[in-house]
Structure 1
Amino acid sequence: MNRRRYSRFLLLAFAAALFAGLVMGIGISRLVSQAEYTQTARLTGTSYSRYPELEQTLVQGLHDGIAADLQTGTELLHRYGYTLHTFNNKNRLLIITGSVGLWMLLFLLFAAVQYRLQIKRKERIAGLTAYLYSINQGQHHILPRTGEDEYSFLEDELYKTVVELRHTRETAVLERQSLADNLSDIAHQIKTPLTSVSLMAELLADSRQNSADALYVEKIQSQLTRLERLVSSLLTLSRLDAGTLELQQLPVDVYTMLASAAEPLENILSGRRQTLTLQSSPAISYRGDYHWSSEALLNVLMNCSEHIPTGGNITVSYAQNPVYTQIIVEDSGAGFPAEELPHIFKRFYRGSNARKDSVGIGLALAHSIIQRQNGSIHAENRPEGGARFVIKWYAY
């Protein structure tokens, strides 16, 4: 029962107690007044019938009488201004006050009991809430039983659910770890023949060959580089899923990190006649992992390069405030279709403007790495056209 409903309940109980007290008081006062008036009229009528000369004395002091003298006594009382209302008014205040007081006492007792029950309910709810909080913090323990009450069944079901969820979570962690280990083994097994093929491709490139052979060797080397990067990305994603990728929390200079991220793209940007502008700002840093932050930004920059035309531009700026460090990456491409914006960070999602050789891992990998470092990444369209990525590394 929430506070508003409880207050309304107490108000209704108070009104009911007050109404019951008033009704009882008025009823009792009428009964008592009627009995007193009847008795007085009987006594007065009896005495006056026998001793008319004692009229004044009877008015001053009333004695026992019989039923037959009731009318005489009533007439005599009326003659001197004594009516039922006279006796009713005389006793009403005392009886009503006593009745209301009794019901108010009952109400206070009821309210005290309800208040105590409410306090116990709050304590029980607070205890169950604290238990769930401790579970969320990784502190697994048995919920102490304080006795049977209305929350006992909920407590039992809650404990069963927590135990089942913990078992499911442990199983999922083991399965993810097993998957990460298997992917790691597969990746290492793939890297061995890739290294051999890469070496042979380099030897072919160094040997004398005609222009057609050189073109084929260049394509082989390009596909090998792409394949190596794909295997590395899949391995990183599996380690992120399993929670085995260790990320450092050290000061990272933003400009240095961005320059490191852009360096592997120099040849690609040059071949596409694209320009990358990194706006220089005062020294700004945040706490994170330099290597993996650079990896995440490399994927973002590569995505921009793949979605802008030949001769396009990419601009990177950054700033800082007491809450977060912000990096903004913008390009001069066509931007994102509105229906694709909610999905671009999903794994293996390929938008309508994606390159044929894209598999949809780069942005998903960047999203996971940034989130693991207490950050966020958001994609949107620029009002003047083009895509914009807003990355925030939070201080707390």
Structure 2
Amino acid sequence: MDWIIGIGMMALGIAVVVLLWRNYCLRKEAAQFAGKVEQALDAIVTGKEWKRQGELTDSLWDRIETQLAKAEHVFQRKQEESLREKETVKGLISDISHQTRTPLANMKLYVELLEEETLSGEGTGFLAKLCEQTEKMDFLMQSMVKMSRLETGILQIRQEKQDLSETIRRAVADVVPAAAAKEIDLFVDCPDGMMVPHDGKWTQEAVSNILDNAVKYTESGGQIHLSVERQEIFWQIAIADTGKGIAVERQAQIFTRFYREPEVHDKPGVGIGLYLARRIIELQKGYIEVRSETGKGACFRLYLPV
């Protein structure tokens, strides 16, 4: 009886060893398989040269390798199409900018000459409208050129450690005249000497665009508060106003190109400012969020990595 139990225990031991060995082999094969997939995907994503190894068989890896090769081909083709489209857009914007620069300069000159002339009341009104439309066209062209250069990589974001408070001051200075004209109070809470890695010029552009919108959509006598705070991972630039607010269902759309809310078409603007602001912050590995309710103002928060 004892020998039967001994044989049974030995068989059980052998079975356990075999199972453990098979489990080890399966885990090793799975790790090798995952490594191959990871290498192939890394080569596809980074654009490195990736060649299939050995002859085609009916194994699981060879079937997956075939699909990865197809995915690589599609990915490369999409990349090439994207580059061609960017080059086309870059050329188109460059041509438009070049072709409109001289006419716009001439229009501004003619407006200045007309302002020196004695005009009727109606003529003065028409001249004011002509001046407004000329400035709007000039602003549109400049914004489109900036947008094109950022998207096509002509202009690179250069993040250098510099004083964020100086960048904020320049951005605020851009909107002070417009805020003063509407008697809007500007409050700024920004400590000095905040050395933050960022592109001063483009970050100023982003903050100015947010502030410009705040001034534009805040009624006379309103308030705008700007504050800067260091958090654990990000620096937060918060811009809150007492303006008309933004409906929740539209808050995702306001950052798209040329989007303008239906009720503000009588206000100056072309719908590029917020798109540019978001793009500039994203290129610095940050992000923008907005919190608002209709009739209760809006608060934009810009986050730059610490």
Please give the TM-score of this superposition, normalised by the length of structure 1: 0.70
User: For residues 331 and 360 of structure 1, what CA distance do their matches in structure 2 show?
Assistant: 19
User: For residues 252 and 383 of structure 1, what CA distance do their matches in structure 2 show?
Assistant: 37
What is the aligned partner in structure 2 of residue 243 from structure 1? Answer: 153
User: Does structure 1 residue 338 correspond to structure 2 residue 264?
Assistant: no
Aligned length: 303
Q: Per-residue displacement from partner, 1:200-238 (whole Å, max 9, x unpaired)?
A: 101111333344433332322222111111111122222
Q: Per-residue displacement from partner, 1:336-386 (whole Å, max 9, x unpaired)?
A: 112112222122222244242443221111111111122211110279932
What is the aligned partner in structure 1 of residue 297 from structure 2? Answer: 386
Secondary structure of the corresponding residue to residue 175 of structure 2: helix
Secondary structure of the corresponding residue to residue 129 of structure 1: helix
What is the aligned partner in structure 1 of residue 115 from structure 2? Answer: 205
CA contact (8 A) 1:284 1:319 kept: no
What is the aligned partner in structure 2 of residue 268 from structure 1? Answer: 178
Percent of counterpart pairs with the same letter? 24
Q: Among 20, 32, 49, which residue is 1:141 paired with?
A: 49
Secondary structure of the corresponding residue to residue 210 of structure 2: helix
After TM superposition, list the pairs within 5 Å mapping 1:280-319 onto structure 2. 280-319=190-229
User: For residues 187 and 216 of structure 1, what CA distance do their matches in structure 2 show?
Assistant: 26
User: Does structure 1 residue 132 correspond to structure 2 residue 41?
Assistant: yes
Secondary structure of the corresponding residue to residue 224 of structure 1: helix
Change in 2 beyond 3 A, CA 1:223/1:252: farther
Secondary structure of the corresponding residue to residue 389 of structure 1: strand
What is the aligned partner in structure 2 of residue 365 from structure 1? Answer: 276
User: Does structure 1 residue 115 correspond to structure 2 residue 21?
Assistant: no
* Stretches of structure 1 lacking an aligned partner (at least 5 in a row): 1-91
User: For residues 275 and 253 of structure 1, what CA distance do their matches in structure 2 show?
Assistant: 25
CA contact (8 A) 2:186 2:224 kept: yes
Change in 2 beyond 3 A, CA 1:190/1:255: same
User: For residues 291 and 107 of structure 1, what CA distance do their matches in structure 2 show?
Assistant: 68
User: For residues 123 and 294 of structure 2, what CA distance do their matches in structure 1 show?
Assistant: 47
Question: Cα offset for 1:171?
Answer: 2.0
Larger radius of gyration: 1
What is the aligned partner in structure 2 of residue 156 from structure 1? Answer: 66
Which deviates more, 228-237 or 275-284?
A: 275-284
Question: Cα offset for 1:103?
Answer: 4.7
- Higher helix fraction: Structure 1 or Structure 2? 1
Q: Per-residue displacement from partner, 1:286-338 (whole Å, max 9, x unpaired)?
A: 22222211111111111111211122111111122452221110101132112
Question: Cα offset for 1:95?
Answer: 1.8
After TM superposition, list the pairs within 5 Å mapping 1:156-175 onto structure 2. 156-175=66-85
Question: Cα offset for 1:165?
Answer: 0.3
User: For residues 220 and 255 of structure 1, what CA distance do their matches in structure 2 show?
Assistant: 38
CA contact (8 A) 1:306 1:355 kept: no
Look up the equivalent residue of 1:241 and give its one-letter code. E
Change in 2 beyond 3 A, CA 1:212/1:276: farther
Question: Cα offset for 1:278?
Answer: 2.2
Look up the equivalent residue of 2:169 and give its one-letter code. A
Question: Cα offset for 1:118?
Answer: 2.5
Look up the equivalent residue of 2:41 and give its one-letter code. L
Which deviates more, 331-340 or 274-283?
A: 274-283
User: For residues 80 and 297 of structure 2, what CA distance do their matches in structure 1 show?
Assistant: 44
Would you identify which runs of 4 or more consecutive aligned residues in structure 1 move more than 6 Å? Answer: none
Which fold has the larger relative contact order, with Cα–Cα distance below 8 Å and residues 6 or more apart in sequence?
2
User: For residues 261 and 133 of structure 1, what CA distance do their matches in structure 2 show?
Assistant: 41
User: Does structure 1 residue 374 correspond to structure 2 residue 285?
Assistant: yes
User: For residues 214 and 352 of structure 1, what CA distance do their matches in structure 2 show?
Assistant: 30
Change in 2 beyond 3 A, CA 1:205/1:312: same
Change in 2 beyond 3 A, CA 1:333/1:242: same
What is the aligned partner in structure 1 of residue 188 from structure 2? Answer: 278
Question: Cα offset for 1:197?
Answer: 0.3
Change in 2 beyond 3 A, CA 1:337/1:233: same
Secondary structure of the corresponding residue to residue 379 of structure 1: strand
Please give the TM-score of this superposition, normalised by the length of structure 2: 0.89
Secondary structure of the corresponding residue to residue 302 of structure 1: helix
CA contact (8 A) 1:331 1:386 kept: yes
User: For residues 280 and 288 of structure 1, what CA distance do their matches in structure 2 show?
Assistant: 16
